[in-house]
Amino acid sequence: MSFQAPGFYLRHGYRETGHLPGMPDDTTKHFFHKHLDPPT
């Protein structure tokens, strides 16, 4: 959610794949994805 620091996820290598505005209390739900490499 927009009040839960989406910047934190962006700083840690996640990419925003979408968002859903109009949630309660005028917030936005954000969706993130991070590609993980297989173990070597």
- Domain-by-domain residue ranges, the chain? 2-33
Global pTM value = 0.72
- Quote the mean pLDDT of the chain: 89
pLDDT of residue 29: 92
pLDDT of residue 18: 95
2/24 Cα distance (integer angstroms): 11
More confident call, 26 vs 3? 26
For the cut 90, the answer to whether the pLDDT of residue 5 exceeds it is no
pLDDT of residue 33: 96
